[in-house]
């Protein structure tokens, strides 16, 4: 997995930044219309190939599909969500779980919306389902991490009420308090926590 130039950590721009930070144009009516038809359900193993098949594209061409092996669609379907439009086309997904070690925590591993359906509340609705699941089992917090260069993801999580987990191990990377080398000793991550 390549998530950026760790030494330089430049101010991310354009696709590398996930188009983040820049003012978002108003959603076009066709997008709003399609979004209105979206329904949500639990994934099955049968969804696996079509979901993993969009990962690299939906993450702006970054090669991230290795973060989503089939096991997520075998053992975590009861805590994950698929969004589809009325024709059954994949509109978004959230893959997450409730921590076996700490039942007060639910963890979102990956969330994404079809690039043609962004900015109309789909990501928010996916998380809403996940928050409801967490509350239903008595969890109090939802945790997530993201690459600090993915400014769209940072803005999205902050807009949804997540706070940054800042500590002695964090430093400003791409303008956001992050843990250098959080994963594998080489991959920087922002830590998010939200009460539910």
Ligand X SMILES: CC(C)(COP(=O)(O)OP(=O)(O)OC[C@H]1O[C@@H](n2cnc3c(N)ncnc32)[C@H](O)[C@@H]1OP(=O)(O)O)[C@@H](O)C(=O)NCCC(=O)NCCS
> Candidates 43-51, 106-114, 166-174, 177-185 — which segment interacts with ligand X by CB under 6 A?
106-114
Q: DSSP letters of 60-106? A: TT---GGG--TTHHHHSGGG-EEEE-TT--EEEEEEEEE-SS-TTEE
Is residue 163 within the footprint of ligand X (CB under 6 A)?
no
> Candidates 68-76, 131-139, 147-155, 169-177 — which segment interacts with ligand X by CB under 6 A?
147-155
Which residue's beta carbon is nearest to the bound ligand X?
123
Is residue 90 within the footprint of ligand X (CB under 6 A)?
no
Closest to ligand X by CB, 59 or 81: 59
Helices (H) and strands (E) in the chain, counts: 5, 9
Q: Is 18 left (phi over 0), alpha (psi -120 to 50) or beta?
A: left
CA–CA gap between residue 181 and residue 168 (Å, rounded): 14
Question: Which residue of 79, 146, 176, 178 would you call a contact of ligand X, by CB under 6 A?
Answer: 146
**Site for ligand X, rule CB under 6 A:** 18-20, 24, 58-59, 110-113, 118-124, 146, 150, 152-153, 155-156, 159
């Amino acid at each position: 997995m390549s998530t950026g130039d760790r030494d330089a950590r430049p101010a991310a721009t354009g696709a590398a930044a996930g188009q983040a930070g820049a003012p978002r144009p108003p959603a076009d009516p066709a997008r709003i219309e399609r979004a209105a038809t979206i329904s949500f359900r639990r994934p099955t193993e049968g969804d696996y190939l079509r979901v993993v098949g969009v990962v690299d594209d939906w993450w702006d061409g970054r090669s991230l599909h290795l973060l989503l092996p089939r096991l997520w669609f075998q053992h975590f379907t009861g805590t994950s969500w698929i969004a589809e439009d009325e024709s059954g086309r994949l509109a978004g997904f959230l893959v997450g779980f409730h921590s076996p070690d700490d039942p007060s925590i639910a963890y979102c591993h990956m969330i994404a919306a079809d690039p043609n359906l962004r900015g109309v509340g789909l990501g928010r609705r996916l998380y809403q389902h996940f928050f409801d699941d967490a509350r239903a089992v008595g969890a109090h917090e939802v945790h997530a991490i993201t690459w600090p260069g993915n400014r769209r993801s940072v803005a999205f999580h902050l807009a949804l009420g997540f706070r940054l987990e800042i500590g002695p191990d964090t430093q400003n990377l791409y303008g956001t308090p992050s843990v250098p080398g959080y994963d594998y000793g080489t991959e920087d991550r922002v830590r998010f926590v939200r009460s539910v």
